[in-house]
């Protein structure tokens, strides 16, 4: 989503800028369905397009924030996000999770990466393979 997207209302922009739209996911964390840190949740139609390498992304619980989010968030393609998620799966540690949480807090405060930059196609799930 870009800043000039006409579908987003003023209230929607405020919610997105402050990242409050992510808070309901804490319920999923409390239920054990998600982690605070991990790859973003994936829709079933997206998973069906994964190759064997990309399916490794599913070895960890989805998270509210992750390595891909702090390294580009909405300014990268799906294949780029998946590569970063796979790196996270291969290099997971408590220290890495703490680093991701810290950088996420800074990104939220600075409102960094909330919207896609001009020319970035966000929903490139059809180009996964």
In a domain, 3, yes or no: no
In a domain, 2, yes or no: no
- Taking only the tens place, the pLDDT of each residue in 62-84 is 999 999 999 987 778 888 999 99
Find the domain containing 108 and state its range.
10-123
In a domain, 1, yes or no: no
Q: Within 13 Å of residue 68, how many CA atoms lie on the same side as its CB? A: 24
What does the pLDDT read at residue 128? 52
Question: Contact 39/57 with Cβ under 8 angstroms?
Answer: yes
In a domain, 129, yes or no: no
Q: Tell if the pTM clears 0.95, that is, is over it.
A: no
Q: How far apart are CA 111 and CA 128, in angstroms?
A: 28
Most confident of 17-26, 54-63, 104-113: 54-63
In a domain, 19, yes or no: yes
pLDDT band at 3 (very low <50, low <70, confident <90, very high): low
- Taking only the tens place, the pLDDT of each residue in 85-121 is 999 999 999 999 999 999 999 988 887 655 555 444 4
Q: How far apart are CA 114 and CA 16, in angstroms?
A: 7
What does the pLDDT read at residue 113? 57
Q: How far apart are CA 42 and CA 66, in angstroms?
A: 13
Q: Using alpha carbons, select from 55, 54, 56, 64 the residue that is nearest to residue 19.
A: 64
In a domain, 16, yes or no: yes
């Amino acid at each position: 989503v870009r800043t000039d997207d006409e579908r987003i209302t003023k209230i929607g922009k405020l919610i997105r800028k402050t990242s409050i739209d992510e808070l309901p996911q804490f319920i999923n964390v409390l239920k054990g369905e998600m982690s605070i840190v991990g790859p973003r949740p994936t829709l079933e139609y997206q998973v069906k397009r994964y190759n064997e390498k990309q399916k490794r992304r599913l070895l960890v619980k989805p998270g509210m924030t992750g390595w891909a989010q702090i390294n580009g968030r909405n300014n990268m393609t799906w294949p780029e996000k998946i590569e970063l998620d796979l790196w996270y799966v291969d290099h997971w540690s408590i220290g890495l999770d703490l680093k991701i949480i810290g950088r996420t807090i800074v990104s939220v405060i600075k409102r960094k990466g909330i919207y896609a930059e001009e020319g970035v196609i966000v929903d490139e799930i059809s180009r996964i393979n």
